[in-house]
Amino acid sequence: MKLSKRIISILIIITLVIIIGSSAVACLPLTTTEEGGTTEVEQTAEPGGLADIFARYGTWVWLAVLAVAFYFLLIRPQRTRSKKAQELMTSLQRGDEVVTVGGFHGRIKDIREDVIIVTIASGVDVKINKSSVSRKAST
């Protein structure tokens, strides 16, 4: 629930930036020539105004906004998930109760480099990869 609120707020901010930027660039004044065509009016704003910056570097600004959006919506959450999974794998100890990706609940009997042996019932031991442990079971 917390992640979805964050995503919604980021999308609202991006939408506002797009609206403000497009209104600054797309609404430049046009004049009509005698032949019926339209030409752009030269801007009289100081050379550093917001409209001038968007007119010159608009494509690069949108590319930067897109890169930031991809970072916050895709790359950063994936890094935090992989960091949590790595912390979980390094914190596994003998005797911990775990839940596997397949849904098996059991207690760790032995830990090796990348394989653990989990007891799921009395006398039933299963050898699984460490990466298939989804979480520690709360006792």
Residue 77's domain comprises 2-90
| Pairing label, strands 133-136, 124-129 | unpaired
Residue 5: is its pLDDT beyond 80?
no
> Which CATH number belongs to the domain containing residue 116 in this structure?
2.30.30
Q: Given 70, 90, 110, which residue is the final one in a domain?
A: 90
User: Tens digits of per-residue pLDDT, 112-135?
Assistant: 988 999 999 999 999 999 999 999
Same domain, 51 and 70: yes
Q: Verify that 64 and 124 share a domain, yes or no.
A: no
Q: How many CB atoms within 10 Å of residue 2?
A: 6
Confidence of residue 21 (pLDDT cuts 50, 70, 90): confident
- CA–CA dist 133, 101 (Å, integer): 6
The identity of residue 138, as a single letter, is S
Q: Classify the C-alpha dihedral 81-8-25-38 as positive or negative.
A: positive
Contact 90, 136 (CB under 8 A): no
- Of the chain, the percentage scoring pLDDT greater than 70 comes to 78
Collapse the DSSP code of 31 into the 3-class scheme (helix H, G, I; strand E, B; otherwise coil) and give the result.
Answer: strand
pLDDT digits (tens, 9 = 90+) for 58-85: 788 888 888 999 898 899 999 999 999 9
**81 and 113: one domain?**
no
Q: What gap in Å lies between CA 61 and CA 20, rounded to an integer?
A: 12
